[in-house]
Amino acid sequence: MKSLKTGLYSSLTIFIVMLTMNSCVDSKKLAYFNNVKRDTTIQMQAVPPIFKINKNDLLQITIESLDAQAMAVLNQTNGSPTASSAGSAQMTTTPSTGTTSTSGTVAGNLVNEKGNITLPLLGIVKAEGLTKEELEAEIRKELIDKKIVLDPIVTIRILNYKITILGEVNRPGVIPVPNEKITLPEALGLAGDLTPFGRRDNVLLARLVGNKMVYKRFSLNDDKLFDKDLYYLQNNDLIYVEGNKAKAGQSDRSTQTIPIFLSSISLLAVILSLAIRR
């Protein structure tokens, strides 16, 4: 009888140990910045990237001027309401018709496959490859040269600035960036941080540079994420967090645990049956 109880306890112990080993995750790999010592100063080499307009970018182009009379003519030409009584006017272009609107509703101006946009009275304007500041200066110059507006103020925003985070994060998906600047830590925070199964030592960045997709792997366990090519993310960047071995084991856990559980139950049933008979 004593040997049966010993066998019973041994079986239970083995079962518990196997389950524990099956779900174990190294806590050291869950920490960020493992190589950063206490009271350490890290020299930041990262700077916000200079954003250049690409094909299929969606631009919000706003043109303002104190020349209310000129803007009123421009608005009338395009069939829009006249300027406000404050003595200034604003024109916001839309991609489909090129008409103006003072309603505040902005659809954006799409950069076509040739890298151009179309603006009222200006016609086709090259946008691809320019920074926002360069395109603003070009539009302003065209308005002045064609004597459409004497002293316009041109402002451009990128409406489709976004990044994508996939894999082992709590909230994977597309993250819009309205202020056109986002860091890697901010992006991970917006994605709800990595799950315990995310590999912090092997994260993938995919970035479109020209007509090529550039891939870069890095670790969150050290201070490399402060590098200039990583810290500030760029428009349309993709971050992929790979699952670790524990995650891979979890996918097979049901097929592993159920047979172990059933085998243990069968063994216990046999032991109890023998004990009852004795």
pTM of the full structure: 0.65
Ordered by start, the domain boundaries in the chain are 2-25+249-277, 27-50+161-243, 58-158
**pLDDT attached to residue 105:** 39
Q: Quickly tell me which residue has 């070009």 as its tokens.
A: 138
Length of the chain: 278
Q: Phi/psi at 160 (nearest 5 deg)?
A: -105, 25
Q: Taking Cα atoms as reference points, which of 69, 85, 66, 65 lies closest to residue 77?
A: 69
Which residues have C-beta within 8 Å of that of residue 11, sequence separation ≥ 6? 264, 267, 268, 271
Helix, strand or coil, per DSSP, at residue 214: strand
pLDDT digit string, tens, across residues 13-22: 555 555 454 4
DSSP 91: E
Torsion of CA 230, 232, 236, 241, to 10 degrees: 40
Mean pLDDT of the chain: 75
Q: Quickly tell me which residue has 């869950």 as its tokens.
A: 30
Sign of CA dihedral 57, 207, 187, 24: positive
Query: What's the rounded mean pLDDT across residues 133-154?
Result: 91
Q: Is the pLDDT of residue 140 over 70?
A: yes
Best CATH choice for the domain 58-158 from the list 3.40.50.10800, 3.40.50.11610, 3.40.630.30, 3.30.1950.10: 3.30.1950.10
**pLDDT attached to residue 67:** 72
Homologous superfamily of the 27-50+161-243 domain (CATH): Outer membrane lipoprotein wza domain like (3.10.560.10)
pLDDT digit string, tens, across residues 164-212: 999 999 999 999 999 899 999 999 999 999 999 999 999 999 998 878 8
pLDDT digit string, tens, across residues 29-76: 556 666 566 666 666 666 777 889 999 999 988 888 877 766 655 554
Q: Is the pLDDT of residue 162 over 90?
A: yes
